[in-house]
Amino acid sequence: MAFLSSVLKQLAYEPSSTHYLTAFFCFVSLLLMLKLTRRNKSNFPPSPPKLPIIGNLHQLGTLPHRSFQALSRKYGPLMMLQLGQTPTLVVSSADVAREIIKTHDVVFSNRPQPTAAKIFLYNCKDVGFAPYGEEWRQTKKTCVVELLSQRKVRSFRSIREEVVSELVEAVREACGGSERENRPCVNLSEMLIAASNNIVSRCVIGRKCDATVGDSVNCSFGELGRKIMRLFSAFCVGDFFPSLGWVDYLTGLIPEMKATFLAVDAFLDEVIAERESSNRKNDHSFMGILLQLQECGRLDFQLSRDNLKAILMDMIIGGSDTTSTTLEWAFAELLRKPNTMKKAQEEIRRVVGINSRVVLDENCVNQMNYLKCVVKETLRLHSPVPLLVARETSSSVKLRGYDIPAKTMVFINAWAIQRDPELWDDPEEFIPERFETSQIDLNGQDFQLIPFGSGRRGCPAMSFGLASTEYVLANLLYWFNWNMSESGMLMHNIDMNETNGLTVSKKIPLHLEPEPHIP
């Protein structure tokens, strides 16, 4: 660099000095040759052919997890893509995923920070997208121990019971005691979304998702949440071409994100202010617990107002859509296999017996082995987040003999792994029985089944999500028999097409005819 500076200065004073000009070009040529030589010596994983500028972006398709699976069959389970200006590693093998988590987890523990995360998560001051480091570790530890432990999940049982009781009553009212030929259908997908959002919002901020706060916010928490989820999954040019970030302003995407963020921020400010002014010591929501810990000086990290709101947003974004999506797919698969649904119902009704409500305490859940198998098989076939939330390498690393550069975005294709014919018999079939005698668990140690991820960046809310999913499913299967509406498709032809968003949900909502079950 000193030589280059000297050459440039000399050229400025003596522009006709040809020997300096020659030396300068020789120096630049040498640098280029060294760079090319170094690049040629690098051993990158196999890669599909790239187009100029956009690289492999055109190969993403509308359902990236399926596109990546198709490409990996040709180029291997460890594949390098160029998505715009972003080098991207796609992993479609349980063995490679295990090596990443078990051997190189620290190197792979950063997260890329997309535009939506920066805007909605207060410049990534949350847990999900915060950079890996000591502050992140302390924040996650607090969330796991104080908010998402098994004991805390059990403490939210009354909220689950109340919300699900309202859901069951809503379905029962829709039935209205009508005769079979006149029985109305319900949009079960919509009802599942509302129930899941209500469970999460009551646990996170202590109120239903349809509640409003004060006069300054004119829409409900649920409406804001749904808008955030849509914007979070929108294609942002600046995420793949940083120098073209201005395009997202012209398209209106960034202005819409910022307007929505301001509404959410005002909403959360009023909720927090209301709690602080009332000084409610009996507030057991996530927000209340964090504020109490801060007041008692029991936090190992500095909890600013933005940190608090970012953590709450993590819970809201990560907890609502995933639960309702899993439940929707579970019902779709059970409807396609009536005998499987009957087997699940018989187990639940046998365990619960004649009761005014389904009480899923620990002993009750432990007796519902087949229900758990249904949930596991649903998560295997229909992982709500099929491409586990992207990671980013913090430094260069050697993986399976290949060179992986620093700042490489990494996708683990859980969807492809969980349908790998080398790991599963009849991988495309919904067979809950495969788990009846299997020791494969969901805790991230069995890498052929990782819907919640694994390692340092694994989802800390697994227990919370499973408790809600099992409880809602058990209730709806206990209290009702379910049939496709006559206007819908035949049972064996239920539309199973996917739509890509923050989660991968059914493209066509479930419109079903519930028939009340009398114990």
Delimit the domains of the chain by residue range: 1-41, 42-516
Q: Does 459 belong to an annotated binding site?
A: yes
pTM of the model: 0.88
Cβ atoms 417, 97 nearer than 8 A: yes
Pick the closest to residue 418 from 383, 442, 389 (CA basis): 383
Specify the pLDDT at position 22.
Answer: 41
What is the C-alpha separation between 465 and 452, in angstroms, rounded?
A: 10
Specify the pLDDT at position 486.
Answer: 60
Partners of 78 in the β-ladder: 91
Backbone torsion region of residue 110, taken as left when φ is above 0, otherwise alpha when ψ lies between -120 and 50, otherwise beta: beta
Pick the closest to residue 175 from 466, 382, 412, 482 (CA basis): 482
What is the C-alpha separation between 208 and 512, in angstroms, rounded?
A: 25
Ranges in the chain, pLDDT < 70: 1-41, 177-183, 210-222, 279-281, 355-357, 359-362, 486-492
What is the C-alpha separation between 389 and 245, in angstroms, rounded?
A: 22
What is the C-alpha separation between 134 and 129, in angstroms, rounded?
A: 14
Cβ atoms 80, 44 nearer than 8 A: yes
* Side-chain-side CA neighbours of residue 241 (13 Å): 13
221: amino acid identity, one letter:
F
Looking up tokens 């359902």 gives 63
Write down the H helix ranges in 453-501: 462-479
What is the C-alpha separation between 60 and 330, in angstroms, rounded?
A: 27
Find how far residue 220's CA is from the centre of its chain. Answer: 23
What is the C-alpha separation between 203 and 158, in angstroms, rounded?
A: 10
Specify the pLDDT at position 18.
Answer: 43
Around Cβ 495, how many Cβ atoms within 10 Å?
12
* Side-chain-side CA neighbours of residue 401 (13 Å): 1
1: amino acid identity, one letter:
M
CATH topology of domain 42-516: Cytochrome p450 (1.10.630)
Pick the closest to residue 120 from 222, 256, 324, 288 (CA basis): 256
Specify the pLDDT at position 230.
Answer: 84
